[in-house]
Every structure is written in C-alpha cells, then in structure tokens.
Structure 1
Amino acid sequence: MKKSLLLALTILAISTLNTKAQTDSAKTRQLVEAQNFLFNATNAMPMSSADINRIMSRLPGNTGSNINLSGSNYDLQITKDSVVAYLPYYGRAFTATLNPDDAGTKFKSKNFKYTSVKKKKNWIITIDPKDVKDSQRMTLYITENGYATLTVNNSNRQSISYNGTIAEIKPKK
C-alpha cells in the first residue's frame, strides 16, 4: 500500500512539474511575432554514432545522445536585424578547423533569411545566415509554452539538435 501511494505521489509531482509552463502563450506569441527573443539551450543532442557515444559515455553525467548544458550560457539570440549564435558542437566534422575559436556554432549574422510559420500550437522558424563562413540552416520549433528545439544543419558537420526555452532578451547593463 505504501509503495503504491508513494508511486502515485511521485507521478503526481512529476506531472505537476511538467505542466508548469515556461512562459504563457501570449508572451511566447509576442516574442516570436516581434522576432526578438533568446533561445537558451539546456540540452544538446548530437547525431548518434558509435564514435560519439563511446567518447561521450566517458564524460560524467552525460550520455552520447543527451548532453546536459544546464548552468551554461549557450544561446541563440534573434532580433529583426541580427542573429547571434553561441552554441557548443558535439559530433563529427567533415573538415578540420585550425582555429579553436571556430569549435562551436558561433557567429554573428546581419544578412540572413528568416521564415516563420505558425501551426496550431507551435511555430516553425527557419534561419539561413548568408554571411557566415559555413553554409548552415537553423530550424527552431517553439511551443506555445516557450519550450523549443533547435536543429542546426551544417554543410561541414553532422547535424545537432538542442532543447531549451525561449525568453525575452534582457538589455545589457
């Protein structure tokens, strides 16, 4: 009896935590329609391969399929006139970089194509930077509650996805 009560309370607690919205739908709609928001990455999910899984399984607290980024400042900032990416990369690169600063998905773009499509309960946003060294496409799936998944397809690397949330861009002090 105690086990079933404990199990029921645990399920209730977890479902309560999952139903708490990150942002309300009106705020999410406002941010997306204004094209002025910040995607905060909380998890990275590299494309699965035996090599990546073997390396990532040696890191404490991570598996090859899901890397916890909580507590980091990895993000994608989107405004009407710029896209600024500061995201880590885990995966296989098809061409080597000689500059260690090029190691992640890090760029500032002023020349990009931005497409937003509203579905029933989410948005699909596609960003194609034109002034970035590597050809890449970023696709952002945003729910009404502000949860999002970002997929980055790069011509010189395996694809990678990130889970996270969107938020209002805070003015710099």
Structure 2
Amino acid sequence: MKSIYIIAVTFSITFFSCKSINYQATGEQIKSLEYLVENKNFKIESDWAYPQTTTATQQVFNSGLLPTGSSSGAINLIGNSNFLTISGDSITSYLPYFGERQTNVGYGGNDSTIQLEGVVENYHVAKGKKDSYTISCDAKSKSEHFKVIIKLFPNLKSYVILTGASRNSISYSGEVKSKE
C-alpha cells in the first residue's frame, strides 16, 4: 500500500511540475527586433548548424571528427567564427557547411563555407505570430545561388535556412544583434 502511495505522489509531482513555459516578449525586445528588421542592419551569429542527415554525414559523425556535443544532425558551432549580415540591400556571410554536394567542387576544393556577398534579390519581410519576422531573399556566392530564409524572434534568437543549387540545404540557429 505504501508503494502505491509513493508512486501516486511521484506521478502527481511529475505531472504538475512538467508544464510548458509560456514565453512573453517584453515591449523592449519587440521594439529592438522591429528596429533591426526595419533598418535592415543586423548580424546573426550561429551556435548550431543542422545539416540534412544522410549516410555520408552519419559516417563523418561516426568517425569522431565533429565537436563535442554534436551529432550528425546538429553540429556545435560555439567557438567557431561564423556570421550572416544584412546591411541595407547587401548580404555577407561566412558560414561553415556540413553536408553533401550534388556537383563536383573545383580543383583545390576551398568552398567548404557558404560565403555570400553582394546585393540581395527578392527581399521580403513578413511579420509572424508572437512578433516574430520571416525574411526571405535570394543571394549568391562566387559559384552558387542560394535561397535564404531567416526567422527572427523577439528574444533575439534566429533560425536561418540556406538552400543552394549544388548542396543539400542546411539550417543554423543562433542570435541576432545590431551590426554596429
């Protein structure tokens, strides 16, 4: 009888303590994000990369080459230099790429990052639920065109999806801040 009582109490404590957190952004956070988006002047630094998990990425994970805490579907970028910057109608980035390429890389194969540089095309901003923003645009590197989708949240977290013509898509999560 005592064990049933202990199980019931344990279940009750677990059930009532495991509720989801309802995040409410402050007015200051909402205004800060709105300012960054309206002025097209922000920088995103990513903490995690999320490549498509394929047999090849799983083999790399199994080799032990990825940073501690990483898996084939989530790679820790903390301590690695990376950024994506929007400044007016220009975009620049230096993002490490993990994944498969669909075409051959030129001799020297030094295109292991996504380095966007130039004017963005088809720039579109949409305000979403809970004061978030989705920005979509087209950009190019020296050798490839990319579709860029950026989701920005009032707590200044970001989620970036890059889809290229010759690589599997990859996404990144991190933080957005003023470029200055």
TM-score by structure 1 length? Answer: 0.80
1:55 and 2:60 correspond: yes
| Equivalent position SS for 2:116 | strand
Q: How many residues align?
A: 160
The residue aligned with 1:149 is 159
The answer to whether the aligner puts 1:110 opposite 2:119 as a matched pair is yes
Shift of 1:127: 1.6
Unpaired segments ≥5 residues, structure 2:
1-9
Task: Tell me the CA shift for residue 130 of structure 1.
Answer: 5.6
Amino acid corresponding to residue 107 of structure 1 in structure 2: L
- 8 Å CA contact 1:110, 1:131 repeated in 2: no
- Structure 2 distance, partners of 1:129, 1:87, is 14
Q: Give the Cα–Cα distance (whole angstroms) in 1 for the partners of residues 79 and 141 of structure 2.
A: 30
Deviation at 1:141, TM superposition (A): 0.9
Residues 112, 101 of structure 1: alpha-carbon distance in 2 compared, 3 angstrom cutoff: farther
Structure 1 portions without partners, runs of 5+: none
1:65 aligns with 2:44: no
Larger radius of gyration: 2
Aligned match for 2:144, one of 104, 117, 134: 134
Structure 2 distance, partners of 1:112, 1:133, is 16
Match of 1:43 in 2: 48
> 4+ residue runs of structure 1 moved beyond 6 angstroms?
18-21
Aligned-residue CA RMSD (Å)? 2.6
Q: Percent identity?
A: 26
Measure, in 1, the Cα distance between the counterparts of 2:128 and 2:24: 22
Provide TM-score, normalisation by structure 2.
0.77
Is the 2:40–2:89 Cα contact (8 Å) retained in structure 1?
A: no
- The one-letter code of the counterpart of 2:90 is S
